[in-house]
Chain A
């Protein structure tokens, strides 16, 4: 069924009787050519592109809970490609380009909204670093602008310009950055995959892997054994748990990242903004809530919930930057489990087990990466070759000393 304004009108006038299930609930088959473990954004996108772009069939996505129930459904919805390093920027720019055509591609309005993102500058050293980064972005074909203090003021005059502990000195802006309605991304990919014959199997947890002679034969699940030609794991947050079934230990720790939304407010912030002198970033959803976040709690956790100090820390950053939000109220907090990798960058790679592929380590950059991650993982699964923009995301980069460390923090996952 094709979605369109006309269709909505026709259904409205005929009692909405025509809407079909957005996806089927098929029983798992005995064997697939491709089994994608993880029905989050990345797993669903992988299945979608495998079917649509790489012409593959006999594909299943196994999800232990409900589709889109992981980090694609619990993030702050930001998209951007304002990365610095060669290993990252082409990939994230590829992702941003895919975002730009995504809704027309999968015929679902995910509200991709390029209202711009600014990273505020508070010191000369930050300006130097953002100048380097902005130039790297442009060299990679992305857009970037350096704003001075007055340009920032003209965008957001109610920021704390006059009484700031760390004065605002400018900003790096990417106009093509913005936000996307996060759940709709999962649903759009799920619908697109389902329409192309992919079996989306919910409430199906992988409990083991059948590996013989160094080759994966399939996965054990709560709904029985499912044979597979190739298995792709995209379960960020639970990567270590799932890959342990294949006897692998990963350069990844699981950490909780909290996020926050305020009560609905009339338009206050148009684009996305990050504070450069504290842990705070914010945008406003189309519904009116201020959606914001800060740093991870900082200790290994699988709990999908955090503690009060980080909530306070984020609010402090918010009030320091925007003293007008004091009377807005925090409505809800939530927590997602991040695959914090050893250099802050992801992994899309083969594994030592033949037929087993891994996608993870997204830290808290996973949402914006969803389209490219799916595309590149599908590319790897379909062709056994890394996609050109994802070549650096290898397991062995740590052994070879080719880390992609945007923040320069080294092998300390909670600092990335």
Chain B
């Protein structure tokens, strides 16, 4: 597979490490959320057959974490974003 890195252009997927569903961005706050919220966050997945937003890390590259929107049936990649931008847009701060 080839991932079109927003900064570096097309790169072989072998340069990346896969983590999983980009919903992992939405980590609850440990001071307010409890075990159930963290359980749902960490363990439960949509796991769609189709478009999937997922986290990839450019380990053999610039160390960017990316959010890749990819079809899990065809493997077509629809969109690639910097995870930091996505996280900030989702309201994550410090």
Contacts and interface: CB of A to CB of B under 8 A. Distances in A.
User: Is there a direct interface between A and B, measured as CB atoms under 8 Å apart in the complex?
Assistant: yes
Interface of A: 238, 240-241, 249-254, 298-303, 307, 309, 342, 398-399, 411-414
Nearest to A248: B44
A303 B18 contact: no
Interface string B37-62: 00100111111110010100000000
Contacts of B73: 301-303
16 contacts: A240-B47, A250-B44, A251-B43, A251-B45, A252-B47, A298-B18, A299-B18, A300-B21, A300-B72, A301-B73, A302-B49, A303-B72, A309-B13, A399-B39, A412-B20, A414-B20
A399 B45 contact: no
Contacts of B47: 240, 249-250, 252-254, 300
B72 A240 contact: no
Interface residues of B, number: 25
B20 A301 contact: no
Contacts of B74: 303
Contacts of A300: 20-21, 47, 52, 54, 72
B18 A253 contact: no
B54 A299 contact: yes
Contacts of A250: 44-45, 47
A414 B18 contact: yes
B36 interface: yes
What does DSSP make chain B's interface, helix, strand, loop or mixed? mixed
A235 to B, nearest CB: 12
Nearest to B41: A411
B75 A303 contact: yes
What does DSSP make chain A's interface, helix, strand, loop or mixed? mixed
Contacts of A307: 1, 13
A257 to B, nearest CB: 14
B14 interface: yes
Interface string B1-15: 100000000000110
B53 to A, nearest CB: 10
A137 B62 CA distance: 45
Nearest to B42: A411
Nearest to A298: B18
Contact of A253 (B14, B20, B70, B75): B20
B33 interface: no
Contact of B43 (A238, A254, A301, A398): A398
A349 B39 CA distance: 18
B39 to A, nearest CB: 5
A139 to B, nearest CB: 30
B44 to A, nearest CB: 5
